[in-house]
Amino acid sequence: MLRYAPAATQHTCCLIALFAMILFAPSILAQTQPIPQQPAQSKQIQTLAIVNGEQITRQQVANECMRRFGRETLEDIVNKFLVAQECQRTGIVITEKDVNDEIVKTAAKFGLSAEKYMHTICSRREITPDRFKNDVIWNQLALERLAESRIQVTPDEINQRMEYEFGERVQVRQIVFDSLQLANQVQQAAAANPDDFVRLAKQHSIDRNSASSGGLMWPIRRNSELPELEQLAFALQPGQVSRVIPVAETFVVLRCERKIPAEQVPQEQLPAVRERIIDMLTQDKLRMAAAQLFDRLQTETEIVNVMNDPVKSKQMPGVAALVNNRQILIRKVAEECITRFGTQMLDTEVNRTIMLQSMKQLGVQVNQQDIDTEIRRAATVVGYTKADGSVDMDRWLAFVTGGDQSKVDFYVEDEIWPTVALKKLVATDVAVTDEDLNKGFEANFGPRVDALAILLNDNRSAQKVWNMASAEPTADYFGRLAKQYSIDPATRNNFGEIPAIPRHGGQPALEAEAFRLRAGEISQVVQVGENFVILFCKGRTEPVVTDFDAVRRELHDDILEKKYRIAMANKFQSLRENAQIDNFLAGTSQPGAAAIREARDREAALPRTRR
């Protein structure tokens, strides 16, 4: 089992990862050696932040950046060096004008000015304009110039993509199995009575996303990445059930719902469409050519990774790598890490520090048993259990770390430890009531409304579509209206199909209207946020479970976890807002609740004449 104890200089809290419900491991790389202390430089700030009087140093942030992103950053530095060296060898020069012209061209594709595009992309990626130009655009242009002789888009490739985007499609439902024996049994039942396919999909499919809609999938297109599945789907006629087909490690049965005719692209739009497709295919080929180019350059270049070799790192302290005997220093990698990830990691360290301070005030700690219990809970929630019902810890950790054992510590630090810490901070505020249990039972196991939906973005359009639907209140016509008018891609592509609507699902107005309807009725126009929804009721589903006591424990645990998540989010927000934070890297300062109260008290104590 894991052995972990939080330490002030090592462990972090990543709020984004925390509230991803412990589903994915962070995208980080293997640990490296701690960074040797570097002498202070006059242009560098050595204290990057002060949180409620506690310092966070540059060295601390650099160490964390290097642990997580050191290998990635070193690889980027080496790769950029190799590309620059190859450009120099082949006489390719990428000028500042080339970079700026590329930005203008790319911005124009989105209908933006270069300034607006740069602001948008840099804000989204949280990088500086200089880094975007030097690390992204320069590399892109350099690779294009180096690889352009290897890139050629053929007419056949253009035609195949055109057929994929605009050709005939097949709307199908699917049932996905992990057992061939069960797949064959269900396929025989579905083939004997195709009308049962929706019920069988909801009952047996392991693909929960499509199962909730009776197995309905997005339309299958030609020239997809699953040619055998594509061939089978196009061979079916509406209402026909397929044979069992293996797909990856699963088994799939399809039922054809409808054939969707090919779209005719207006003649005047064809040049623009072809240009877009050629550009897309060129970029795809460029990525492949770039990978091949890197393979060749790395094969032809002598690269020694010193930083991740304990023996070599002792022999060459301060050196990260040798590229054809040229040194890349750890200091350079560390500073590049701070440039790229310093803001993110500093914020992570600030969050961790705030929580540790709060835990100290309340006298609570996170121990190894807490960590192990939370990992087991996370694994159990997503079904990582063995045949005997015990948690399959090895398989779960392999999943969340992508099979890289070196990332287990990061998974614990970034997701498990913050979860446990916040749960301890809100433990006295969370409880599950009988009302919670009754609502949870009704929401999870009670009857639902089986409906079609059309989503529109303004009331006038909604009233127009409602009038058309009311004139011919049938499921088929309503589905065709959804295909034509719904602004939501899922309902548009699925002819209005949506998962059955439960009670207490978080949209009370829509739920109230849905449960008012009888089979064959069309709802009023319901405003949901900024959009407007029209429903066609196909009927009610049968309750899945009728014995409350049989699922009481499961419901309690599920509701408790959801309440914990809400309380944890609120608690963290409160801690963050009330903390006094001076962030010297970002150049921001937050006075904190205590400082604000003191200022108000001082102002209140002043005589009125001095205010």
3-state secondary structure of 503: coil
Type of residue found at 411: Y
pLDDT of residue 594: 67
Strands (DSSP E) along 223-380, which ranges? Answer: 245-247, 250-260, 303-305, 319-323, 326-329
Q: What is the mean pLDDT of residues 286-302?
A: 82
CA 61 distance to own-chain centroid: 25
pTM of the model: 0.66
pLDDT of residue 300: 85
What is the band of 569 on the pLDDT scale with cuts at 50, 70, 90? very high
Q: Is the pLDDT of residue 4 over 90?
A: no
Q: Output Rg (C-alpha) for the chain, integer angstroms.
A: 29
Residue 257: strand, helix, or coil: strand
pLDDT band at 218 (very low <50, low <70, confident <90, very high): confident
Q: Is the pLDDT confidence value at 459 over 60? A: yes
Strand, coil or helix: 431: coil
* pLDDT (average), residues 233-256: 93
Given a contact cutoff of 8 angstroms between Cβ atoms, the answer to whether 490 and 206 are in contact is: no
Beta bridge partners of 537: 451
Q: What is the percent of the chain with per-residue pLDDT over 70, rounded to a whole number?
A: 90
Using CA atoms, how far apart are residues 218 and 229, in angstroms rounded to an integer? 13
Q: What's the confidence (pLDDT) of residue 301?
A: 85
Is 370's pLDDT higher than 60?
yes
- Rounded CA separation 262/176 (Å): 28
Helix (H) or strand (E) run with residue 532 in it: strand 531-540
Looking at residue 521, its amino acid is: E
The kind and range of the H/E element at 172 are: strand 169-177
- Residue bearing the bigger pLDDT, 24 or 582: 582
What's the CA gap between 523 and 478, in Å, rounded?
Answer: 12
Annotate 107-119 with DSSP letters as a single string: HHHTT--HHHHHH
Q: What's the pLDDT band for 474 if we cut at 50, 70, 90?
A: very high
Average pLDDT, stretch 74-96?
89
Considering the chain, what percentage of its residues have pLDDT values greater than 90?
Answer: 58
Q: Is 79 left (phi over 0), alpha (psi -120 to 50) or beta?
A: alpha
d(CA 600, CA 260): 68
Cβ-based neighbours of 406, under 8 Å, separated by 6 or more: 30, 31
Q: What is the pLDDT of residue 58?
A: 92
Local confidence band at 608 (pLDDT 50, 70, 90 cut-offs): low
- Residue 37, pLDDT > 90, answer no
HSE-CB of 110 using CA atoms within 13 angstroms? 13
For every residue of 265-304, DSSP letters joined together read PPGGGHHHHHHHHHHHHHHHHHHHHHHHHHHHHHHHS-EE
Q: Assess whether pLDDT exceeds 80 at residue 581.
A: yes
Q: What is the pLDDT of residue 55?
A: 96
140-175 pLDDT, tens digit per residue, is 888 888 887 778 889 999 999 999 999 999 999 999
Nearest to 200 by CA among 213, 210, 214: 214
- What count of other Cβ atoms lies within 10 Å of the Cβ of residue 354? 20
Segment 222-243 shows an average pLDDT of 91
Q: How sure is the predictor about 260, in pLDDT bands with cuts at 50, 70 and 90? A: very high
pLDDT average, residue stretch 559-586:
93
Residues in the chain: 611
The pair phi, psi for residue 73, each rounded to 5°, is -65, -40
pLDDT given for residue 31 in this prediction: 32
Q: Identify any residues that bridge with 260 across adjacent strands, giving them in sequence order.
A: 169
Report whether pLDDT(607) > 80: no
Q: How far apart are CA 296 and CA 148, in angstroms?
A: 16
Token pair belonging to 310: 């304990």
Helix axes 434-445, 548-578, angle to 10 degrees: 110
The two structure tokens encoding residue 175: 């049932």
188-213 burial, b if ≥16 CB within 10 A, otherwise e? eebeeebeebbbbbbebbebeebbbb
